[in-house]
Chain A
Amino acid sequence: NAGVTQTPKFRVLKTGQSMTLLCAQDMNHEYMYWYRQDPGMGLRLIHYSVGEGTTAKGEVPDGYNVSRLKKQNFLLGLESAAPSQTSVYFCASNRQVQNEKLFFGSGTQLSVL
């Protein structure tokens, strides 16, 4: 099993460009999450999904959109990238039970110039 796979691993954007980060999990997990991590800030939840076709806002949702068209995939979109979105992005997933442990991907390093 691959677990949680994120693509791409690295990306450089210019201000105003758009892009989509893909997260795929092969564990049949119901819940999926997108976090961002900035130096000294820990991880902050951007958006999450409790099942196929559903999404919800986390702590820092502004400037991002998400979609969960298939159970195994959770997409994070930046419509108009800003330098403040330079960060490391992590995707995670877990099963339906609320306190099940999270499985994380290896992250995407995004730089917006």
Chain B
Amino acid sequence: LAKTTQPISMDSYEGQEVNITCSHNNIATNDYITWYQQFPSQGPRFIIQGYKTKVTNEVASLFIPADRKSSTLSLPRVSLSDTAVYYCLVVSRGGGNKLTFGTGTQLKVEL
């Protein structure tokens, strides 16, 4: 299983763009990169998933360089409601269901 490393915490202000980078140096060919968001007292919620280059949805963008050893979750124009913990996961399409979460990145957005 590819191990992921991401910053423990980040601070931002409303209206700014936030980029959270995750390192996954031993990612395998069949692995996908997935990000989840967790608010206090709730279960994590799927945000975005990608394999290479760039993926964008209504919530965020995910940038993956050609070597796929890292990925960056980009949240445009954050608001107070984006304060949450963000988890990066590497998920294997090839098999295995031990979907493990790291400690995540605590994002705090202030006025």
B-contacting residues of A (Cβ < 8 Å)?
A: 4, 31, 33, 35, 40-45, 48, 50, 56, 58-59, 90, 92, 97-99, 101-107
Contact = CB atoms under 8 A, between A and B. Distances in A.
A24 B94 CA distance: 27
Interface stretch (B19-27, B40-48, B65-73, B74-82): B40-48
A58 B104 CA distance: 19
Contacts, number: 65
A111 to B, nearest CB: 15
Interface residues of B, number: 25
Nearest to A56: B97
Interface string B13-44: 00000000000000000001010100001111
B102 A106 contact: no
Instruction: Please report whether the interface of chain B is mostly helix, strand, loop or mixed according to DSSP.
Output: loop
B36 A102 contact: yes
A42 B102 contact: yes
A89 to B, nearest CB: 10
B98 A99 contact: no
